[in-house]
A and B are shown apart, each in its own frame.
Chain A
Amino acid sequence: KQEVTQIPAALSVPEGENLVLNCSFTDSAIYNLQWFRQDPGKGLTSLLLIQSSQREQTSGRLNASLDKSSGRSTLYIAASQPGDSATYLCAVFSGANSKLTFGKGITLSVRP
């Protein structure tokens, strides 16, 4: 059974800092990995999707990498801003039923 872990559960950084959010998964037989952002009381916004054959994806100040063999992904946020404060969730698409398995998320707070 696929399990996705995101540690730590919460992170607080000063504005301007570059930061890395980690995600690990137990079964490396994945089709893709997706990073989401969730603001309080809202739904999920898709940030980046990395196919199993890819190593990384970039969108603006965000860069996501994937090391499938070691079961790890990182989301790099450059020059963090208070508007980046949110919960970031990692999810992997895998399994015979082809469904998403989510981590519990990392709640990021960027202090002005």
Chain B
Amino acid sequence: DVKVTQSSRYLVKRTGEKVFLECVQDMDHENMFWYRQDPGLGLRLIYFSYDVKMKEKGDIPEGYSVSREKKERFSLILESASTNQTSMYLCASSFSPSEGLRNQPQHFGDGTRLSIL
């Protein structure tokens, strides 16, 4: 079974802090994703990565950055946390066969509930 592990289930930080959310997958997946989930807005894609050191902006990248130094690890960084970044953050990964990532299901971690005070 695919295992996607997010380092923290709950996190409380203060406005202006630099925040790191970590995600690790154990299935050698090429693709990794960061989403946030908010009531009434659903899941929105922040950033994704097709390979080590590669990154692509999703729908709402403002205020965030990412790092993928190793294939199994994808970090989301809040450069200067603000209260509107209080949310549930979900990491996902998927396999990418030679024909591309289109056909493979995404596997999700348990999420990190982040509160910015």
Query: A residues within 8 Å of B by Cβ?
Result: 31-32, 34, 36, 41-46, 49, 51, 89, 91, 93, 97-100, 102-105
Contacts and interface: CB of A to CB of B under 8 A. Distances in A.
B70 interface: no
A100 B42 contact: no
Contacts, number: 49
Given A99-B58, A100-B45, A42 B110 contact: yes
B42 A34 contact: no
Contact of B42 (A42, A49, A102): A102
Contacts of A98: 100-102
A98 B31 CA distance: 12
Interface residues of B, number: 25
Contact of A34 (B90, B105, B110, B111): B105
Interface of B: 4, 6, 33, 40-43, 45, 48, 56, 58, 90, 92, 100-103, 105-111, 113
A97 B106 contact: no
Q: Is the interface of A mostly helix, strand, loop or mixed?
A: strand
B113 A100 contact: no
A105 B100 contact: no
28 contacts: A31-B103, A34-B105, A34-B106, A36-B108, A41-B113, A42-B111, A43-B6, A43-B90, A43-B108, A43-B111, A44-B90, A44-B92, A44-B108, A45-B108, A46-B105, A46-B106, A46-B107, A46-B108, A49-B105, A89-B43, A91-B43, A93-B102, A98-B100, A98-B101, A100-B45, A103-B42, A104-B41, A105-B42
